[in-house]
Amino acid sequence: MSTSTKPQTVAVHAGSRLTGSKSQPVVPHIQMSAVSFFENSDELDEALDGKDYVYSRIAAPNAALLEEAVAALEGTEACVAYSSGMAALRAVFDAQRLRPGDTLVMPADGYGVTRLLFKNLAERAGARIEALVLSEPSAPERLRALRPRLVLAESITNPLLRVPDLEALSRACREVGALLAVDATFPSPHGQRPCALGADYSIQSTTKWLNGHSDALGGTVSGSREKLAPLRSARLLNGDVLGPFEAWLTLRGVRTLPVRMKVHAENAAHVARRLSDCKLLSRVHYPGLPDHPDHAVARRVLHGGFGGMVAFDIQGAGRPECFRFLEAVKLARAAPSLGDVGTLVMHAASASARRMTPEERQAAGIGESLIRVSVGLEDPDDIADDLIAAVSEAVKR
């Protein structure tokens, strides 16, 4: 530490170290410094190989704490954090180094932006994409016939809430030498651990349930140290790192994840039952309902409830009626995300499926009448009353 009393030097160096305290903070500090220094050159040399924190593109304390927590929740050896869920998906794709003639399988009824991303990446690589409804009983046999290099599944599909049998899919993937990546954002690690069911990668958009408060973007990929090593090495070069404040906010959310998800799931089940009695709806989508096509599978592959997402089709509605619904809600908020403590609603065709072509939406069964609901922590009857009243307002002639 400099002993100079010159103002320019004091302004730069004074107040940069805490001394004389033995306190241990209950909450980790936000380590905002992008670079650290070492008084011992050998220690600096080792840090540049990732053995300590010296430059936040190599490794950063807050992101490392989040990775440790998410890996523990996922039940995996390791985790790599990214600046967004889409960045995490891109990292998994890039790590496979697909070549011309390789096949990639992804859900036909999944998140539209993921589909567009993988279509663009596969086109550049010369790889072929096959879009399948992976919740169909025939899906494992289709995988065996296609012999893909990579399969992407969604634990609960966005926005139709179908639930594939990950155990059956993983067996088929192993038989043909394919890697199975699972976007498990909808159930969160509290609701499903895909790697325990045979998946090679579990992917989270931490922006959603893990953060839980709609105030930090982020994404993670969890799995074995061996499979994540190429992703970590690639991140060192491409710099797609999670910032310290976002990591800190997300770790704060992780602390209450089991408590929040229990109530989200209980509220969603109650809301789904209430909506099932509404004559203005043609269908309610929720894996916890006995008439859901994947209810039996969901009971086996999901734990901790059936998640906090509900979807429904408004009887005879098109886009104008659905937009009126979005404007009519009082308690819920119309927003294209999920996982917040408050209830969020969106029109699926114009939001989550916006980047799909009309033909792709039709093939997936995503119609103009579909509304997706991220059920919050409010009183469940208040939520249901608000949704039903908004539907009634939307369909008035």
Q: Is 381 among the residues known to form the active site?
A: no
Q: Is 382 among the residues known to form the active site?
A: no
CB 218 within 8 A of CB 247: yes
The Cβ-side half-sphere exposure at 354, using a 13 Å CA radius, reads 6
Catalytic residue among 111, 162, 227, 361: 111
How many whole angstroms separate alpha carbon 275 and alpha carbon 312? 8
Catalytic residue among 52, 53, 55, 57: 57
Nearest to 238 by CA among 58, 47, 64, 79: 58
How many whole angstroms separate alpha carbon 285 and alpha carbon 390? 18
CB 233 within 8 A of CB 57: no
Q: Is 183 among the residues known to form the active site?
A: yes
DSSP 369-393: TEEEEE--SS-HHHHHHHHHHHHHH
How many whole angstroms separate alpha carbon 225 and alpha carbon 228? 5
Q: Is 119 among the residues known to form the active site?
A: no
List, as own/partner pairs, every contact residues 199-204 make where C-beta atoms lie below 8 angstroms and the sequence separation is at least 24, other chains included.
199/153, 199/166, 199/170, 199/223, 200/224, 200/227, 201/92, 201/227, 202/74, 202/76, 203/85, 203/88, 203/89, 203/92, 204/70, 204/85, 204/88
Q: Residue 388, Cβ neighbours under 10 Å: how many?
A: 17
CA angle 260, 111, 390 (to 5 degrees): 65
Exposed (0-12), middle (13-18) or buried (19+): which is 220, by Cβ within 10 Å? buried
Catalytic residue among 115, 162, 193, 208: 208
How many whole angstroms separate alpha carbon 119 and alpha carbon 130? 10
Angle formed by the axes of helices 85-96 and 225-238, to 10°?
110
Catalytic residue among 165, 183, 200, 386: 183
The residue type of 240 is D
The contacts of residue 109 (CB under 8 Å, 6+ apart) are: 133, 135, 157, 160, 162, 364, 365, 366
Q: Which residues are known to be catalytic?
A: 57, 111, 183, 208
